[in-house]
Each structure stands twice: as C-alpha cells, then as structure tokens.
Amino acid sequence: MNLRLRRIHLPLSAFALELDLSITCRATGIFGASGAGKTSLLDLVAGLRRPESAYIELDGEIFTDTERRIAVPPHRRRIGYVPQDGALFPHLTVRENLRYGFDLIPVDGRRISFEQVTRVLEIEALLDRRIDFLSGGEKRRVACGRALLAQPRLLLLDEPLAGLDGGLKSRFMPYLLRLRDEFEIPILYVTHEAGELVELCEEVVIIDRGRCIAQGAVADLFVERMERRHELRSPAKPEL
C-alpha cells in the first residue's frame, strides 16, 4: 500500500488537522489522545469530510485534490470503514447486515467470500440473529465482517476495542490478527492504547492536536518504552 496525504488542512473545533505524510505498511496505527484528530483523519481518507485543502492518493489513484477540484465519492473509493459504534442496522439480521454491501459487488469482483469471512471471524452461528441480541464483541466482529465483504482495498478501524472490558479485549484481538494476516488488506488502526499497537501494527503515526508529532516503527517508538516502564515497576532482586 502507498497512501499519500499532502496539504491536509481541516479546521476542527479547537484546532486544525494539518498533515503531510506517507503510509506504506500493511498495518499502521494512528495513535493519540481522545480528540487529537484521529477519527477526522479516517473520515478524510474515506471521503466523509470535505477539507479546506488536501491531496489524498492511494496506490496511484487520486481520491482528493482540492487544487484540481477532485473529490471521489465514498462509494467509489472501495474503502471499508468500521466506526466506533459499528453502524450496524438493528432491524436486520447478522446475515442481512453482512450481505448489505456484498450483494452489490459483481460476482467476478468478489475476492473475499462470504464463507471465508464468517469462518475467520467465527460468526457462522450468529447469522440468523438480530443485532440487538448480540454482545458487544459479537457486534464488533459483524461490523468487521461487513466491511470486509464490501471487498475493500483499504480497511479503516476506529478504536474497535473501545468500550470492551479487559477480558473481551484479549479475546477479540486474535480476530483482528487473523483479519490482518488472512485477508492481506492494508489497515489503518485508530487507538489510544499502546498495547494494541504493539500486538497488531508495524508502524505508528502519533497525532497531537491535529499534527503528526512522530512516525516510525512500533518497535522503535513503543516496545522499548514499554519494556523500560516494566523494568522500572519490577521489584529489585534481593541480594544473595
């Protein structure tokens, strides 16, 4: 993947999102405190917000260029977006939610099959249930499955573990790892939890008040820091 974000300027309530960066890894974390501009960045890539200035290009295709008045609509970008609330249709069954975008794709354009998604995310037994009868973790898996079945070229995950307790988070992470490894779709993963980045992502973009303050390998920016913190918290070894 080669995602280029240039001349980004999007006014927000307290500051402006101003970025100029390139993202090339298959799993990149967008990290920062709540309200830093992470979700706004995903919205720009998906085409859900109109910036004052932007140039956005994915693998050679220009999505947005305000100077040339190019603005490819969201449905033509082939981007799967899983927002924080999942945005599932409560009046439909799991099967109907999953097939919502899938049935619009021509058969010869379906690289990812319905059976593969339901197997990997282990939601076969949920297909005939209504959304209101699912747990929080089950809803997240269905939302991820629906995004995958739209046959995206890029997957945007906005804090998919937010609101889950520690036990549910630990049980959900393996599904994200399988999603990353089996479908080989590039991922932008928004979070404010460093531990999630270490498990899932190769690269991280750190955002503070709308600006990129660091970008690099997760191992360089987070793993060593977390190991040092662990050493500081560990009790000293008794002298013999």
SS3 call for 175: helix
Query: For residue 55, which of 37, 40, 70 has the smallest C-alpha distance?
Result: 70
- For 37, phi then psi, to 5°, come to 115, 10
Cβ–Cβ < 8 Å for 3, 22: yes
Angle between helices 94-102 and 136-149 (to 10 degrees): 20
User: What whole-number distance in Å separates Cα of residue 97 and Cα of residue 56?
Assistant: 30
197-240 per-position pLDDT tens digit:
999 999 999 999 999 999 999 989 886 565 555 443 444 443 33
Two tokens at 4? 């280029």
User: What whole-number distance in Å separates Cα of residue 224 and Cα of residue 236?
Assistant: 20
Two tokens at 208? 């503070």
- Higher pLDDT pick, 225 / 112: 112
Would you say residue 187 has pLDDT above 90?
yes
pLDDT at 230: 45
Q: Is the pTM of this model over 0.75?
A: yes
Is the sign of the CA dihedral 19, 25, 26, 27 positive or negative?
A: negative
User: What whole-number distance in Å separates Cα of residue 5 and Cα of residue 10?
Assistant: 12
Domains of the chain are 1-75+189-235 (3.40.50.300)
pLDDT at 62: 98
5-43 per-position pLDDT tens digit:
999 999 999 999 999 999 999 999 999 999 999 999 999
140-168 per-position pLDDT tens digit:
999 999 999 999 999 999 999 988 877 88
Would you say residue 136 has pLDDT above 80?
yes
Which residue do the tokens 């190019």 mark? 70
pLDDT at 232: 36
